[in-house]
Amino acid sequence: MLLYGVVVSVVGFCRAPAVPLSVLPDSSVRVTEVTRMYPVRMARVITPHTALDIAHAVSAAPGPISIGGGRYSMGGQTATPDGVQLDLREFHGVVAFDTAARTITVHSGTRWREVQEAIDPAGLAVKIMQTYNTFTVGGALSVNAHGRYIGQGPLIRSVRAITLVLADGRVVTASAQEHPELFYGAIGGYGALGVIADVTLDLAPNSRVQRTDSTLPVTSYLNYFRARIQPDTAVVFHNADLYPPAYQEVHAVSYIETTLPVTIPERIQPSDQASWTHRLAYKSITSGRLGKWIRRHILDPAMFRGNPVTWRNYEASYDVSELEPASRDRSTYVLQEYFVPADSLPVFVPRLRQILQAHRVNAVNVSIRHALADPGTYLAWAPTEVFAYVLYYKQETSPEAAREVGRWTRELIEAAIQCGGRYYLPYQPLATRDQFARAYPRATALFAEKRRVDPANKFTNTLWDLYEPDRAGGVPDVAAARMPAVLPAEASIALDTIQGYGRSEGAEYLTHTEWDLVYSSEAYARWLRQGKPPSEFPYVQSVGTFWRGYLATWSASRARAPAGFGKHLMLGVIGISTAVEYGVKGLYETTVGRLAELNAPAGGTAEDRYAAQVAEDYALLINQKGWYEFSFRRALVHLWTDVPWIGPGLLRKWERRAWLSAEYGLKAMYATLIGLGTATAYAPDELQRYLVVAGWSDSMAPGATPDQLRRVAWLDRHYALLAVPRYAAFRDALLSLARRSARVRVAEISGNTVVTLTGTAPRDWHPPARSRVVVAYTAPDAPARVRVLLAVDARDLLAVLAETEAGGQLRVDHIYDY
């Protein structure tokens, strides 16, 4: 039986070839960042090479414009939906280098590595930068980065001057003396005021440094730092790693200026530091308590053996490639950072420990670093002397896991704020607007300055789409027209109270395979209703489309959120059962059935008509329920009680009667078995789904079925949560909404931002530009049409539906509702 099913499946697969559809040229681009969790579809990416190119691009674009440096910020800070990104990575190089004055001027797209390579031969080093040298100078300035330096702090402390391209294309110079409002606004301003073009930085001598380390209880660390580290002017780098999962001990590491000869002669580390040993180390550290124990007691003691002497530039030239895992599909490594007044360490650390432990955060470590106060940026994260707590952890990428990260992140932000501290903005935008306002009270002053130099609000990005102070008073329509790429924290918090809201994304694509069976059952019912002979139905091709759909959706789901083994097992059982059923049916109908058809009267026998009716009822039921819920027993009983035994075409009548009895009888038994198994394996599914929309108004009853789309709650002023019945009603409600309102945009469906839909269209159909074809194959019963599975971003769903409706060529059968 199994072998027969496999043979039918293979033959069917070959006879149902995929149809390549020409997708309309789509000039939009997906911009993503290092975690891959915040892809943003933008209209265009422009790569300027000169400051003049930047000025021209800025004057020419009406906005929105976002600015991209190395794109290592972790939440869409370099992008905004449908906007233009200025990708500054090609705008790099040294403009001026003065060894006597120890200053360098570079284009903002220059990476720290390039700066180091330029200054190292002159015996100089960067004064302040991050731990890794992969970032651009402009990206570092815009977040006002910091490193592990002692006696330093925010990067602005090493900046002499910048040039800034404003929204009208003007280029101005800004420093602490000249246009200080632009200087303190652009540095740490995340691209809100304009594009930082050139940057003049102070440099430091490239001294030799010797590493020392010790492990101590975190409770002793503040005294240790005040007594041993802070007063020692020879300490260049210093940080203390708090070990998870106990968070009781720190491993303090210092690099102290020395006159000893170097033990590592390389002056700068190689740029590619990816290696399987690094990947293995991070994987084992994040694979449970044992991994963390191994790190603490085996890996670190081995790594920190001896007291090597290196050049300062060597220690400041790590490359982020050393952190890159083999894949970020299912889980990803992420950073967060909290800045708390240094003396509040004894209050903040226990709170940090409690939150991380309560939420079982899979931390690699929390690195504690010191920073002196900021000289006056609007978005200063160190208004006073602080310790930075840099949390590096691993998280799953599923929507539910991401929501849980949002919950504990907000707790940590609250803890930092309550200690008089702040959180860092280049990471995931999970704070509430209220938390942002409390952490960064001078954001209002920054945006007052922005209104002066960028009145049309040209420059924006995901961060400012969510937190720009002004938008609090914006009109609700703003949300629909300029819907941020990310749902605001307030809306996510409100969603936490909705039972059964979030659903797994992995199953979504694969569900198409089950629907393919619905389509073939509908096609069969249609076939019989039209009086076509069952012997000519394309049974084998119908099996083939199942497997074709399965392979395409499996590969699509692998790249997003892979489904579990159970789902594949279930689909395998369904596929093979269907292949056996259709194979046997095809064999019988094309032999015995075809002979008996010769005896059938015009319009068929009563049994033929009965079979057509049963096929129709069955197709109707499986649109909403499992196939095994169809009562084949009742179909069998009615065949013998309701259909006359005698009539025209007696031979065909009795052939059908015998065949249908066998079919219904066998299916009744199989359905009982499967039904029992399914009832024990799965809880009954909910019959409604939720979607989050922006631009909704309660007067928007969607067409003839106003009760189908029900507003459950306002999540915040812009976003409404709607409940929709599943299946056909879901499709109809969305089609109706697409027809009626261009103002509404869907943000999420059941917590997911990608939606799939199927339909049939003529073979020469062009899919809408904002959709992606997952698979397309000839509809077995209508060779002139193709069945197509499209994936669409939720935010584009209604526009795509409106476009396909207007085109009139795609008949949408189903919108997958998770």
Under the rule (CB under 6 A), what is the footprint of ligand FAD?
34, 66-73, 77-78, 88, 108, 130-132, 135-136, 138-140, 142-143, 145-147, 190-191, 195-196, 320, 323, 335, 426, 461
Q: Which is nearer to ligand FAD, 461 or 760 (CB)?
A: 461
Q: Are 647 and 608 in contact (CB under 8 A)?
A: no
Q: Which is nearer to ligand FAD, 236 or 700 (CB)?
A: 236
- DSSP string covering 107-137: ETT-BHHHHHHHHGGGTEEESS--SBS-SBH
Counting Cβ atoms within 10 Å, is residue 222 exposed (0-12), middle (13-18) or buried (19+)? middle
Q: Which is nearer to ligand FAD, 34 or 798 (CB)?
A: 34
> Considering the complex, what minimum distance in angstroms separates the CB of residue 33 from ligand FAD?
7
**Amino acid identity, residue 723?**
A
Q: Which is nearer to ligand FAD, 371 or 797 (CB)?
A: 371
> Considering the complex, what minimum distance in angstroms separates the CB of residue 100 from ligand FAD?
27
Q: Is residue 167 helix, strand or coil? A: coil
> Considering the complex, what minimum distance in angstroms separates the CB of residue 131 from ligand FAD?
4
Q: If residue 736 lies in a helix (H) or strand (E), which one and from where to where?
A: helix 727-740
**Amino acid identity, residue 41?**
R
Q: Which is nearer to ligand FAD, 335 or 366 (CB)?
A: 335
550: nearest Cα among 5, 9, 15: 9
d(CA 609, CA 530): 10
Tokens 């076939």, residue located: 527
3-state SS track over 509-566 = HHHHHHHHHHHHHHHHHHHHHCCCCHHHCCHHHHHHHHHHHHHHHHHHHHHHCCCCHH
Q: Are 335 and 405 in contact (CB under 8 A)?
A: no
3-state SS track over 695-722 = CCCCCCCCCCCHHHCEEEEECCCCEEEE
> Considering the complex, what minimum distance in angstroms separates the CB of residue 48 from ligand FAD?
10
Q: Are 251 and 211 in contact (CB under 8 A)?
A: no
> Considering the complex, what minimum distance in angstroms separates the CB of residue 94 from ligand FAD?
16
> Considering the complex, what minimum distance in angstroms separates the CB of residue 147 from ligand FAD?
6
d(CA 67, CA 58): 11
Q: Which is nearer to ligand FAD, 151 or 665 (CB)?
A: 151
Q: Which is nearer to ligand FAD, 77 or 435 (CB)?
A: 77
> Considering the complex, what minimum distance in angstroms separates the CB of residue 137 from ligand FAD?
8
Q: Which is nearer to ligand FAD, 77 or 344 (CB)?
A: 77
Q: Which is nearer to ligand FAD, 328 or 717 (CB)?
A: 328
Q: How far is CA 269 from CA 205, 259, 266, in A?
A: 18, 21, 7
> Considering the complex, what minimum distance in angstroms separates the CB of residue 132 from ligand FAD?
5
> Considering the complex, what minimum distance in angstroms separates the CB of residue 191 from ligand FAD?
3
Sign (positive or negative) of CA dihedral 302, 304, 305, 310: positive
> Considering the complex, what minimum distance in angstroms separates the CB of residue 78 from ligand FAD?
5
3-state SS track over 649-681 = CHHHHHHHHHHHHHHHHHHHHHHHHHHHHHHHH
Q: Which is nearer to ligand FAD, 67 or 124 (CB)?
A: 67
Q: Which is nearer to ligand FAD, 388 or 643 (CB)?
A: 388
Q: Which is nearer to ligand FAD, 139 or 751 (CB)?
A: 139
d(CA 818, CA 726): 9
Residue nearest to ligand FAD (CB): 139
Tokens, residue 153: 């702090």
d(CA 211, CA 256): 6
> Considering the complex, what minimum distance in angstroms separates the CB of residue 808 from ligand FAD?
42
12: nearest Cα among 382, 469, 545, 406: 545
> Considering the complex, what minimum distance in angstroms separates the CB of residue 578 from ligand FAD?
48
Q: Which is nearer to ligand FAD, 19 or 61 (CB)?
A: 61
Q: Which is nearer to ligand FAD, 131 or 545 (CB)?
A: 131
Residues 6+ apart with CB under 8 A from 39: 30, 31, 32
Rg of the chain, C-alpha, whole Å: 32
Q: Are 40 and 81 in contact (CB under 8 A)?
A: yes
> Considering the complex, what minimum distance in angstroms separates the CB of residue 797 from ligand FAD?
28
> Considering the complex, what minimum distance in angstroms separates the CB of residue 426 from ligand FAD?
4
Q: Is residue 694 helix, strand or coil? A: strand
> Considering the complex, what minimum distance in angstroms separates the CB of residue 459 from ligand FAD?
8
> Considering the complex, what minimum distance in angstroms separates the CB of residue 156 from ligand FAD?
12
Residues 6+ apart with CB under 8 A from 340: 348, 386, 387, 389, 416, 419, 420, 421
d(CA 580, CA 158): 74
> Considering the complex, what minimum distance in angstroms separates the CB of residue 427 from ligand FAD?
8
Q: Which is nearer to ligand FAD, 79 or 119 (CB)?
A: 79
> Considering the complex, what minimum distance in angstroms separates the CB of residue 460 from ligand FAD?
9
Count of helices and strands (H, E) across the chain: 26, 27
d(CA 414, CA 422): 9
Q: Is residue 88 helix, strand or coil? A: helix
Residues 6+ apart with CB under 8 A from 78: 31, 33, 66, 67, 68, 69, 71, 85, 191, 461
Sign (positive or negative) of CA dihedral 51, 53, 59, 63: negative
Q: Which is nearer to ligand FAD, 78 or 545 (CB)?
A: 78
Q: Which is nearer to ligand FAD, 339 or 509 (CB)?
A: 339
Residues 6+ apart with CB under 8 A from 211: 253, 254, 255, 304, 307, 308, 309, 310
φ, ψ for residue 357, nearest 5 deg: -75, -40
Q: Which is nearer to ligand FAD, 136 or 804 (CB)?
A: 136
